[in-house]
Amino acid sequence: FIDYRNYPGGPNQFTIDFYGTPINMMCFAPYTLMTWFADGLVIFRFYVIFDRLPWILVLPLCIYVGTVGAGIAVLISLPNSSDSFWATKVVKLGIAYWAISAGLNIILTACISARLLIARRRINAIDSRFGVRYISVAAMLVESAALYSTWALVFLITYARNSPVQNLLLPSLGQVQV
């Protein structure tokens, strides 16, 4: 927000006007790949926490394939868009992409948190001194990717509504995910 301060419409308008440039695409493509890897990691955590049962992966992997497909569609449409990241076609694809990714994370977050709460209850039934450190609320939030799920959902809502708040959330979405 320091560069191009005097651009007509301010720094946000500069971002809107130049979002489809090759340099921005070089930033968005790795972000999309990072999202796929992070979603894959959450699926792996889900798989491990649910005793490595292969059948439990059917729904998450189907949703994951949808995330990858929607991400590819966004990556293809962004440089071909006549406007920018906020062009109607890109917005529709972006909403689909983030909705699928956030939905996957919310579903897996809920399942992982529930499984950890059940484990915590079982451990406390044996002896409350055991496992408190490992099954704390903070551990559940970290293991379940709850912060990213919440952040992505809020971004998705603001992006779909074309709220200016999206400009605060989008740049930090990748950092929250990692």
Q: How far is CA 38 from the centre of its chain?
A: 8
Geometric angle at alpha carbon 46, from 40 and 52, rounded to 5°: 105
Position 36 scores a pLDDT of 95
Token pair listed for 30: 């790795």
Residue 169 falls inside a structural domain: yes
What is the band of 11 on the pLDDT scale with cuts at 50, 70, 90? confident
The residue type of 86 is W
Residue 4 included in any domain: no
* Residue 136 domain-assigned (yes or no): yes
Q: Is the pLDDT of residue 1 over 60?
A: no
Rounded CA-CA distance 31/155 in Å is: 15
Three-state secondary-structure class, residue 85: coil
Q: Tens digit of pLDDT for each residue in 51-60? A: 999 999 999 9
pLDDT at 132: 62
CA angle 35, 163, 100 (to 5 degrees): 30
In a domain, 1, yes or no: no
Of 41, 93, 44, 36, nearest to 70 by C-alpha is 93
pTM greater than 0.85? no
State yes or no: pLDDT of 130 exceeds 80. no
Report if residue 160 sits inside a domain: yes
In a domain, 76, yes or no: yes
Percentage of the chain surpassing pLDDT 90? 31
Question: What burial letters (b/e) apply to 36-53, b meaning 16+ CB within 10 Å?
Answer: eebbeebbebbbebeeee
Extract long-range pairs of 48-54: CB within 8 Å, 24+ residues apart.
49/112, 49/115, 49/116, 49/143, 50/111, 50/115
Strongest mean pLDDT among 14-23, 68-77, 123-132: 68-77
Percentages of the chain per state (helix, strand, coil), in multiples of 5? 80, 0, 20
Looking at the structure of the chain, the number of domains it has is 1
Give the pLDDT of residue 84.
67
Give the total residue count for the chain. 178
**Residue 171's closest CA among 67, 27, 38?**
27
pLDDT band for position 127 (cuts 50, 70, 90): confident
- Domain containing residue 42: 10-177
2 within some domain: no
Asked if residue 15 belongs to a domain, the reply is: yes
